[in-house]
Amino acid sequence: MVSAHRDIHPDLEAEQAYIVAAYDHLAAMQGRTSVVFEKALDDARRGDVNADAQAMHLGKRLAQLDVGGLALCFGRIDEEDAETFYVGRRHVETPKGDPVVVDWRAPVSVPFYRATVQDPFGLKRRRRFSIEGHHLLDILDEVFDDPDSMLSGMAGGIADPLLAELERARTGEMRDIVATIQAEQDVVVRAGLDVCLVVQGGPGTGKTAVGLHRAAYLMYEHREELTDSRVLVIGPNPVFLRYISQVLPSLGETSVVQTTVPGLRGASFPVRAVEPAAVAAVKGDARMAEVVQNACRARLRRPTDDIVVATRWGPVRLTPDALGAAMDDALALGRSWQLDRDAFRGSVIGLLLEGLERIRPDVLATREQLAEDVRNDRGASSAIDRIWPAISAPAIVRQILTSRATLARAADGILVADEQRLILRKSSGSVTQEPWTSADIPLIDEAEAFIAGLPRKYGHIVVDEAQDLSAMALRVLARRAGPRPSMTILGDLAQATTAWSQPSWEEALGHLGLPPNAEIAELEIGYRVPGPILEMANRLLPIAAPNVRPSRSVRAHGTPPALVLVAADELLASVGTELTALMGDWVSVAVIAPEALLPALGDALPVSAGVSLLEPLGAKGLEFDAVIVVEPAAIFAEVNGARLLYVAMTRAVQELSLVHSEPLPPVLLTA
């Protein structure tokens, strides 16, 4: 969008020509890479293993060079020593290797995001571009020794390119913010790989985008390491993952796993059922880890009888004392159930060798021969298995949740009787038919880790809406991150709305194993939500989250929330009228209402591709041009109602309407 308060920049034509040339150089790079890629493919088809690996690498390189219809270059920095760099989405160079555009993640690009009048980072000038596709619309110059130039392209304290982005209509997918990253966000984005970083940020502070851009930055800085170990992005639900799905690809990064906590094991244990929040809260409690481990250990049986093994050289007797000592030695190793079980069985073979040497010193038996004899003696093999059986994680968890006796033994002194009764359910026909819930999956993962050992670790983990993860879910992520994890933990304690939410980031870090490299950063400035909307929503914070500092919006001059009071029997029609009006102005509109009202609203409202009908929890993490919150008082009256209403109101990035027949919560009307 061309600024209305400035003339067309005299360098517009020259900079447009430079941008066109940059695209030409990018196309040439793609062409050169494509030629080598095709040759590698041909060699791979002829059986060249090295060429196959090269083709895979070059295919990824081609994908990284593709910017689609997105802006390639979004600014330029002129250093005091007269050197100039154009900053953009990808690194572009001439055939001789001279830089045409430098990657936004490169160290040389840091001043583009961080320079201020107080600290210009060695810059003489920063030039920002407003671009649509390949077309340069406007230029904003910031000359650091000329304060007037620093203000000429500002509207209400916001630089024109940022303002244009903030006022752009939402399309249903999150866009990257690579052209408009602000200084406080850039500090988070460029945090090192060795940091476990918690980012607390209110609505509109860009914490989700910042977390994804940090992942892209780390993949650029540590390409080889993170290509091998991969990056894991955890979202709260599939809708949210679809919303953010194009951010990293738009930045050239595709080697990323994006899923939910249950989705980490979704292929093996699909979620088939839902359960009351109170049940999920007990299952998500950190105490359940001990319950699961106790249930596993309960399958051990101390030996009480001799076991006689029929070997090919005659019977060998194993005493309970000897078997018990072998069990204790294996348990002392303190590894996984399976590894310690293998050690125990190895000790049993050793006992057989010793016993055979006593009764048949003339025999030279091998461990392999005796292991085969044990397998062939079904009675002895079964007796050894009863001492230390093979167990499966889903079977253990299923038994905990469906067997009163098993749960009572495993949870004795850990869960009170009421908690035990709460999580018990009827048994299904088999493990494969079990109606697993989202809260069951971390229990299975806990059991699997105890039985088989820790799962694969990821090089970096980004987790969004982390305040709503249970203790058991955080343990799932801790196992995949290691003792000194590289993580970006994103969330807002004011939007903690589940029965198992984390009360503080310190407690959440405790469930992650108290990482020694943990740091907490706070994003205080809101960019997405207009000031008048955020100001009203912030009135809920003394109730919703007294210890959370309210974020402040840079968009001071937005449209104030519309308060639409109607009669109860006119509610549905009034929501429809409001929706129709907003649909005429905006691309995306959400109607957020108490769950009980959703069916009636679904029947009454016009259907459109740009309209979403959601309960407050379902709207978490999403953004819409306009939002209609229906019956705020009913939302406010729910459990965690102040937080739910805070979430609902802060989904709007342009306009907010509160349509109600019940009186609004008084706190909203108190400035």
- Give 296-328 pLDDT, tens digit per residue: 999 999 999 999 999 999 999 999 999 999 999
For the cut 70, the answer to whether the pLDDT of residue 165 exceeds it is no
Question: What pLDDT shows up at residue 671?
Answer: 66
Question: What pLDDT shows up at residue 633?
Answer: 98
Decide the pairing of beta strands 73-79 and 84-88: antiparallel
Which one is predicted more confidently, 661 or 238?
A: 661
Within a 13 Å sphere around the CA of 299, how many CA atoms are in the beta-carbon half?
A: 23
For the cut 60, the answer to whether the pLDDT of residue 155 exceeds it is no
Place of tokens 């079990």: 434
What is the average per-residue pLDDT within 76-82? 93
- Give 358-369 pLDDT, tens digit per residue: 999 998 999 999
Question: What pLDDT shows up at residue 536?
Answer: 97
For the cut 70, the answer to whether the pLDDT of residue 136 exceeds it is yes
Least confident of 28-37, 327-336, 426-435: 426-435
Distance CA 337, CA 334 (A): 8
For the cut 60, the answer to whether the pLDDT of residue 2 exceeds it is no
For the cut 90, the answer to whether the pLDDT of residue 51 exceeds it is no
Least confident of 24-28, 92-96, 178-182: 178-182
What is the average per-residue pLDDT within 564-582? 96
- pLDDT tier, 610 (very low <50, low <70, confident <90, very high otherwise): confident
For the cut 50, the answer to whether the pLDDT of residue 357 exceeds it is yes
Distance CA 7, CA 2 (A): 9
- pLDDT tier, 566 (very low <50, low <70, confident <90, very high otherwise): very high
What is the average per-residue pLDDT within 340-356? 97
Distance CA 399, CA 630 (A): 43
- pLDDT tier, 113 (very low <50, low <70, confident <90, very high otherwise): very high
pTM: 0.88
DSSP classification of residue 523 = E
Tokens of 49: 């293993």
| Among the listed residues 90, 53, 49, the one whose alpha carbon sits nearest the alpha carbon of residue 71 | 90
- pLDDT tier, 159 (very low <50, low <70, confident <90, very high otherwise): low
Place of tokens 């009351």: 276
H/E run at residue 626: strand 624-630
For the cut 50, the answer to whether the pLDDT of residue 430 exceeds it is yes
Tokens of 618: 């379902």
> Is residue 656 classed as helix, strand or coil in its secondary structure?
strand
What is the average per-residue pLDDT within 443-450? 98
The amino acid that residue 160 corresponds to is: D
Question: What pLDDT shows up at residue 407?
Answer: 98
Could you tell me if 511 and 442 are in contact, meaning their C-beta atoms sit under 8 angstroms apart?
no
Q: Which CATH number fits domain 531-669: 3.40.50.300, 2.30.29.30, 3.40.50.720, 3.40.470.10?
A: 3.40.50.300
Question: What pLDDT shows up at residue 482?
Answer: 85
Tokens of 381: 């093999």
Question: What pLDDT shows up at residue 133?
Answer: 85
- pLDDT tier, 8 (very low <50, low <70, confident <90, very high otherwise): confident
Question: What pLDDT shows up at residue 60?
Answer: 86
Q: What share of the chain in percent tops pLDDT 90?
A: 80
**Domain chopping of the chain, boundaries:** 1-168, 234-296+394-525, 300-387, 531-669
- Give 478-525 pLDDT, tens digit per residue: 999 988 999 999 999 999 999 999 999 999 999 999 999 999 999 999
Question: What pLDDT shows up at residue 168?
Answer: 60
What is the average per-residue pLDDT within 631-652? 96
What is the average per-residue pLDDT within 129-156? 78
Question: What pLDDT shows up at residue 228?
Answer: 87
Distance CA 195, CA 243 (A): 27
The amino acid that residue 640 corresponds to is: N
- pLDDT tier, 38 (very low <50, low <70, confident <90, very high otherwise): very high
Which one is predicted more confidently, 7 or 351?
A: 351
> Is residue 130 classed as helix, strand or coil in its secondary structure?
strand
Which one is predicted more confidently, 165 or 118?
A: 118
For the cut 90, the answer to whether the pLDDT of residue 255 exceeds it is no
Question: What pLDDT shows up at residue 63?
Answer: 87
- pLDDT tier, 454 (very low <50, low <70, confident <90, very high otherwise): very high
- What is the average pLDDT score of the chain? 92
Which one is predicted more confidently, 429 or 148?
A: 429
Question: What pLDDT shows up at residue 1?
Answer: 38
For the cut 50, the answer to whether the pLDDT of residue 596 exceeds it is yes
Question: What pLDDT shows up at residue 602?
Answer: 94
Question: What pLDDT shows up at residue 154?
Answer: 47
What is the average per-residue pLDDT within 71-97? 95
Q: What share of the chain in percent tops pLDDT 70?
A: 95
Question: What pLDDT shows up at residue 150?
Answer: 56
Within a 13 Å sphere around the CA of 178, how many CA atoms are in the beta-carbon half?
A: 32
Question: What pLDDT shows up at residue 176?
Answer: 83
For the cut 70, the answer to whether the pLDDT of residue 265 exceeds it is yes
Tokens of 275: 């359960």
Angle of the 277-284 helix axis to the 440-452 helix axis, nearest 10: 20
Angle at Cα 66 formed by Cα 51 and Cα 3, nearest 5°? Answer: 165
- pLDDT tier, 157 (very low <50, low <70, confident <90, very high otherwise): very low
